[in-house]
Every structure is written in structure tokens, then in C-alpha cells.
Structure 1
């Protein structure tokens, strides 16, 4: 993997990441293909809308269909029949989402429940992941059997998947974890990072993950530790505090300590407001299931021209009765085929009728919308107009 910085503006930059399966421009939004599929969309949709890179889920693909199966079929690229760069996470986030995330009832930010890929599972209050120094033991939600992930096993699975960029195995802590536990998890993550560097497939690029919760000294310690190792890039993960301000603080502490010449990936974040505020602080890569998840729940993205603003999270809920006779597209400033061909009234009808067509159309619009927004942000950095664009969208600089 190679990363080239093209333009800088204050702490922001644009660049290009090159992999053996092609290149992608940064800043970039990465659609999440949890089970080797972006929900509701096919490969033609993704290429048509300009997706340049995808992220697949190590833990879930290990369970189904199995990483050994994917290896025998030629790796993820042949299995999915797609020639785009693919990133895989390590399975570390599931240690949180199936563990403390379930126990504490929170997501990466305490006021934002965000359990990746698990919408249809009935947990019944039971914790399904347990962490110790060796690794993480999961209760397989398909078979009920115990599955263990260790740093070495995560590297083996990701090698079998054949992704271009992999992540080191880490422990993602809860926003409600105290400092004592967060420090224990941090030291564990650092030991695991060393193991991952020992065992990973050298044909893949590997990113280390900065942890430390909301605690400045721990975050800075982790950033320095990762920066001193031979990683190709860095993820910023784990608990991002109890508010968006906490998340911004974490980025401001961590990013100056990471090597300027390597990309930075903010894991699991992708709301409109976050894209502006985190790119402004130097983030290059994002992944998030939000566009397709919100689409399935009836929420469609809109621009400021259509009334989108931080207060409504740049979304409308298509089920609202006021859209029953609305012949306008979802967003008149959007040039996706959904907005060019279908009305809000029609999409509302599909949604309330639970028609499968709705899920594809809504998912297409939402993913397209976010990809295009990040492209606009990238262009605005290159032209020097970022702050004007941010003010138009967020109402402040």
C-alpha cells in the first residue's frame, strides 16, 4: 500500500491510497459490506455510485460462510466478484458490541446506541463476548457454540479473506468503562498489536488502532506506541467518549502524534456533521453502516437546500404522512437515479407497504449521498473553500 498526500489545508489533507486492487482518494467514506455485501446494493450499484473501497467484517465472515470457504473460492475479491480495494476490521469491535455494548446498552459514544450488524438479533440482556489477555471468547449467535478470536487468529482469518488493508486485533472499550479498566485494555491492545505485526500476512497492509477511551494520557500513550511500530496506517477506535465534543478532543490529542505520511481511519463514524468536523481535524478515512441502516428504518438524507440541518441530522422520515402526496424527489439537488426517477410519495408507499424495492432505492440514495458529500468536501479542501462549504451545511465555521 502507498499513500500520497496531494493537498493540505490547515490540518486537512487530500490524497490517494494505492493498493493491488486499485486506488482510492482521501478523504473517503467506505461503505460497510459486513457479510461481503452492502445491504440492499449490488456491485453494479456500488461502482455506478462511485464507491472506491469497501469494508468487510472479519468476525461475521468467519462465522458465515467461513474464512476457509472464502479462501478456497479465491478470497473476498473473487468471492464478491468485485475489483475494488477491500478493508477488513479485526473483530475487535465485536468484543465491545457483543460484550460491554450489550451489558451497558451503549455504542462507541455513550449517547448513541450503535451495535454494528446486529439489528435483527434478540439479545435478551445476555452478554455474548468475554475478554481476557489471550483474546475474546464469543457465543456464536448462529450455533450457540463458543468462538475464540486471538491476535494470531484474527490475522489468519484476514489473510484467508485476502483483503488489501487489515486492522490489528484490539479491545474496544465501553464509554462507561472506568480509567482503571481502560488502561488494562489499552496495555492488552498494545500486546496484541505486537503479536499482529509478528503474524500478519506481509502481502497485506496493516493498520494499528489507537485506544484509550476518553482519557487524554491513555490516548496519547497509545498514539505514541502505535506511531513507533511499523504500521502502514492507523485506526482511531474504541470508546469515543460521552459526547461529540469528547470525540473531537480525542482527535485533537491523537492526530498530531501520528506520522504525517500515513493515513488515519476513524472507525465506525459517518454522520454528516462528523464528516465535516473530523476531516477538519485530519481524518482521512471513515466507515459506517449508518447510511443503509437508516435507509431500512425509513430515514433518507437531505441537503441544506431541502431543509437538512444538524438538528434533524440531515434526514427526513419517509413514513411521515405529509409525504403521501409529495411529488418531489427526496432531494432536488441530488443527481442519484432515485432522485431523478422517483417521488417521495412513491418511496413512502413502498416503505409503508414493506416492498423490497424500497430497501434498494433508499439504500442507494443514502450511500450515494454520503459518498458525494465526502467528494464535495475533498474538492473544497483542494480549492480552499472548505470553510464556506462547512458553514453552508452546519451553519458555523
Structure 2
């Protein structure tokens, strides 16, 4: 008999409880032994729950019960999740989580503790929700040297951008609809400002490249400044705008490139047709080439599915997974944003000069874009690929000529 405890009974936690008891018989067959969910930790009371007798409010009840060998942490945030996770691992209990913020900040440390205690710290649900991506990276694609990962890692922002493209609504209107439908939180800052996607690409980069990547080192830009004018220019050149998290291995030991930004991508590309609340993650290996993982990246039951899948892996394991690890780091292993090489979409306005002619002079050969209703004093174009340092310098010279830079969006080839 393996006893399990769940820390937190919010959206994901309650989903884990539901999935466990609904599929208990088949889960036990897959685990090869009996399973029981012995405790559910929450500060609230759930007197009407079918499992009311399993609720506790004191974490130490779980920590000090040696019969509990697997703990599911779905509290979220850094504390007390970090304290509880560390304590459980040190007591020889495996921990499963969907907490992307915790893994992105403390993953290397917690994996080390798990390894030293011969237990597991698993977090399949932390990046793709119900989309398998962690296990494929360190097991199914283990024969590959991973060169690059890029993806639509946040369903909320993808839903908003899809609505802006399909229905011509503003960002604010699309966000309000996302909140009404439950796709966005009351405070959507982590989603729309790119923080959620940043944590996820940090986890993927750490695992793929072997050294802990901290969110503080990764440039993150959200979608709050995307306008209908930008949407129209993108559509006019066969592109869509997506929030893309990406990480690329450095050449000859150079720092990796990692960032989260809105980007023009071709409508027909592997990521360009991932719409609504769906996520798509592209992994580029030296043997497989491009492999794309697609599905709903969030939601109560898709996320719970991944969590319970990790519980089964812990139940079957006889020791720590040797491949799910990366080295600790002090940070600083990500190249500065200014070193990133990219083509850039720029939308400009000028009352004193011809901004397109000035741009050609500064950037060289640019691709001019057009849209219906374009004002005579507006110009939009895509620059040749250059470092962002060079693009920033050219933009500053444009502004010195009286040109206002209204929008600036990277152009990617995925």
C-alpha cells in the first residue's frame, strides 16, 4: 500500500483528488500496487466533501507520518511550498508538483535533495499542463542534443491574440472575455506580462541545457502593447502574432539565448496555427529535427492528469530518476537581450520626415508593409536580421529625426 497526501485543494488540487478516486482501480493496476489518498491539506473547511475525513490543516501531520511516501504539492507560489517540498524530500518522501514558479526558482536544489534521499521530485504538469513535455525531454529524446526549444506556453495570451486576429477586437476586450470564460485570472499580470511563460521556458532550458536558468536572467515582454494596427500589418504579410518563449543553445560554450516576447510568425508555420487556449512546444534535436507537442496547456483536469501521471511514476520507481536533473548555477548563463539576432517589425509615425526612407537609410533593405486605412504619416516595415543592440541604435537615430516608434515586434521563423 502506498499512501499519498495532497497539499492544497484549489483548482488543481481538487482536480487531482477527483481524478485519483475516479480512476483509482486503473491507477493501481498501472502502479502495480494498492494506492490510497490519505490526507488533503488545506486551511479551509470542506464539510460537504465526500472526502471530508481526509482533510487536515497541520502540515506536520503529513510530514511525520512515515506511511505517506508520495506528496502532491499544488499550493502554488514560493512559500510555504518551498519549505514544505524541501521538508518532505528530506524525510524521504517523493514530491509531485505543478508549481512552475517553485521549479523555475529552486528546481536544481530540490532535485539534488531528492537524489540524495533516493526519492523523486517530478513536475510534468509545471510546463505543459496536460501536454507531456518534461518526460519526453529527458527520456524519449535522450539520444538527442537539444539545440533549441520554442513554444506558445501560455493559453490565456494565445486565446487573447486569437480573438484579436479572428474578430478584430482590442486587447482589453479580448482580456475581458478571457476572464469571463475563466481562462484568465482576476489579476492576469503573470499571463499577459509574460511571467508565466518565462518560468516555463526557464524549466525547459534548465533541463535541455543542463544548468539552472533563473527567470531573473530571462528577458520577458508581454502582449499588453499589441494593437489592432499591428494585427493588420501581420495579417497583411501572411503572419500572426504569438507570445513565444524560446531558448537556444549557445555556440562553442557561449551563453544560451532565452527570452519571452510577442513575435510575428508565419500563419502556416508549426506554431502559427496553434490557436485559442491551446499550447504548442517545438523541440529541435540534432537527431530528430523538429518535434512539436500540442494540446491544452492548462485547466483543472488536463493539469491534474499530468500530476496523477507523475504520482504513478513515483509509485513505480525504485530510486531517483537519473536523467531528470540539472546543475545548480549562480545565474548569468543567459546572453543579454542586446546580443539576440532577429529581424524586427517596426511601426513608425512621423510628422516631419519620410520615415520609410529614413528607415531604409538606417537599416538597409527593409520589407515595407501595408494595411487598409493606413495614415499617410505611418510606415511599417520589417528590418533585416541584426543584433538587438544594432536595431536599438538605429531606432534611437530614427527618433532623433522626429520619428515615433509605435510598435516593435520580433520576427521569428518557426
**TM > 0.5 fold call:** no
Name the larger-Rg structure. Answer: 2
TM-score normalised by the chain length of structure 2: 0.29
TM-score normalised by the chain length of structure 1: 0.30
Higher strand residue share: 2
